[in-house]
Structure 1
Amino acid sequence: MVKVKLDSRLKTFASSMRSDDSTDEERKLWYLFFKKYKIKFRRQKVLDGFIADFYCPLAKLVIELDGSQHYSDYGKTYDQWRSGIIEKNGILVLRFSNMDIRKHFDGVCLMIDHITRRRIQEIIEAKEGVTSRLSPPLGGE
């Protein structure tokens, strides 16, 4: 990941978002899922000059919760541009709507768990030089 000197105002803003400015959906996901989850996630993490709602460094995974402002033409374009910058560092960005959190909370949590574990496994295998657990043995047998 590219090291960027963090603007102190951005760090302060991220800190205030953790304490005061979280949405109901962010608080629900944090307190009912991530806070108890065995794999560590961080809230309002500054990455590449942006503030990610949730970030798991082990899985290189960002979780974003999108309110209505994200569904305007500008919001969609901005989110796509922002995600592209973050993903250039090998970080996957997953987006869920606030409605998903309100209506399908358990399903969202299951999906986050599945993708987090899969990402960690892929990262471990890549570090070990393992291409696939399903690859045939050398020699084609």
Structure 2
Amino acid sequence: MDQLQRAKLLRQNMTPAERLLWRHLRAHRLCGEKFRRQHPIGPYIVDFMHFGARLVIEADGGQHNGSDSDAVRDAWLRSRGFKVLRFWNHEILSNVDVVLEVILGELVKGRPPLPRPLSLQGEGRSRTFIDTEFL
């Protein structure tokens, strides 16, 4: 089975935690951000990713506890500029709002600051000056 077929199979057989998280991430539901699910990256298929922010989100069950293969995978992804967030399935199922806050915080952290409005740049700055001569 090639990687695209495997990704499709994984999308069709998501765990309850993956389904719950996807319900909140899909269709730009998290502050208009676009996520992909069960997406191939190199030799791996990640649970969720935000390509623009290079953010990978993994929903892990007990089989991932102390997994050497996960450490290798995370190192490979980090070496290609991805940030990896891992959540236990029980965290997602019992505290999905907290998980979403962590994800959103990571998205915001990776963004450059917004430019200042034009009214605060250049000439606009002199308009906010108070002339004490008339006081």
Structure 2 length-normalised TM: 0.77
Runs of 5+ unmatched residues, structure 1: 1-7, 125-141
Shift of 1:82: 0.5
Q: Do the aligned partners of 1:60 and 1:119 also contact (CA within 8 Å) in 2?
A: no
Q: How does 1:1-141 map to 2 (within 5 A)?
A: 9-18=2-11, 20-31=12-23, 33-35=24-26, 36-37=29-30, 38-71=32-65, 73=66, 76-121=67-112
Aligned residues: 111
Q: Which amino acid aligns with 1:44?
A: Q
Deviations 1:48-69 (A, max 9, x none): 1100000101100000010010
Q: Which has the larger radius of gyration?
A: 2
Shift of 1:117: 1.7
Shift of 1:17: 1.2
Secondary structure of 1:99's counterpart equals helix
Partners of 1:119 and 1:100 in 2: CA distance: 23
Runs of 5+ unmatched residues, structure 2: 115-135
Q: Which amino acid aligns with 1:46?
A: P
Q: Which amino acid aligns with 2:98?
A: G
Shift of 1:116: 1.2
Partners of 1:113 and 1:47 in 2: CA distance: 22
Partners of 2:42 and 2:75 in 1: CA distance: 11
Shift >2 Å, 4+ stretches? none
Secondary structure of 2:3's counterpart equals helix
Q: Do the aligned partners of 1:48 and 1:85 also contact (CA within 8 Å) in 2?
A: no
Q: Partner of 1:130 in structure 2?
A: none
- Give the root-mean-square deviation of aligned CA atoms: 1.6
Shift of 1:121: 2.9
Shift of 1:79: 0.4
